[in-house]
Homo-oligomer: A and B are copies of this chain.
Amino acid sequence: MPMPARVTPMPSVRRLPAYLRLLRRFQEDGDERVSCTRIAGELSLDATQVRKDLSLTGIAGRPRIGYRIHDLIQAIVVFLGWDRQTEALLVGTGNLGRALLGYEPFGVNGLDIIMAFDVDPARAGTTLFGRPVYGMNELSMRAAERALRVAVLTVPGSVADTVARSLVEAGVTGIWNFTPARLSVPDHVLVEQVDLLSSWAGLSARMTRRTV
């Protein structure tokens, strides 16, 4: 008999950071409890959907009362694996790469990009936002040294797949891919795609055909 295989709905997972941000704001305001109705109102979502999303984390609310904000924040943070810092490396210190190295919200949300790599030998030996930049030849050694499992990929699309292979060889099992290239990696390697042109297409098409 096959397992029911309860899979986690990714749309729900992707909404969790928005809840987290809001809950932290409520907490700063001194609130202790919150209802799904209120969260839904703030984020223009359906209250039932918020309830379903939050139940993912295993937290329970109380009828008439709502949820304890502190517990809810904790549950989301643990669910996302943001209770411990994930150390990551970044490849490609162009404009986008540097922007991500300097993106402060990552720090308080479980991501610590501790080193960067670039093909340009002139950049090797420098630092960016306090993080060392190494040449590509050091990638395998440095990644192994710190047992890094996550890589942020901000190289030109033309070399993305080649670099991805090196990353996998170096032991990386999760790639945050900011290039438009589709990566061919083994099944055990997770790829999260951020496609700027896809997003721009979404806006542009809607503006072009206002009824879209």
Contacts and interface: CB of A to CB of B under 8 A. Distances in A.
A190 interface: yes
Contacts of A13: 201-202, 205, 212
Interface size, A (range): 35 or more
Q: Tell me how many chains of this kind the complex includes.
A: 2
A206 B16 CA distance: 13
Interface stretch (A100-108, A118-126, A136-144): A100-108
B80 A205 contact: yes
Contact of A207 (B21, B190, B203, B211): B190
A106 B95 CA distance: 14
Given A105-B180, A197-B105, A199-B192, A205 B17 contact: no
Nearest to A102: B95
A27 interface: no
A95 B106 CA distance: 14
B207 A174 contact: yes
A209 B192 CA distance: 15
Contact of A198 (B18, B197, B202): B18
A147 interface: no
Contact of A206 (B21, B98, B190, B198): B190
Contact of A14 (B102, B190, B199): B199
A31 B180 CA distance: 21
A176 interface: yes
A67 interface: no
24 contacts: A7-B211, A7-B212, A13-B201, A13-B205, A16-B201, A16-B205, A17-B197, A18-B182, A21-B157, A86-B207, A94-B102, A95-B98, A95-B99, A96-B103, A98-B99, A99-B99, A106-B200, A109-B197, A150-B207, A176-B199, A192-B200, A192-B202, A192-B203, A194-B196
Given A18-B195, A79-B205, 14 more contacts: A7-B211, A8-B205, A86-B204, A95-B102, A95-B103, A96-B99, A109-B200, A111-B200, A150-B207, A176-B203, A190-B206, A192-B203, A194-B196, A194-B199
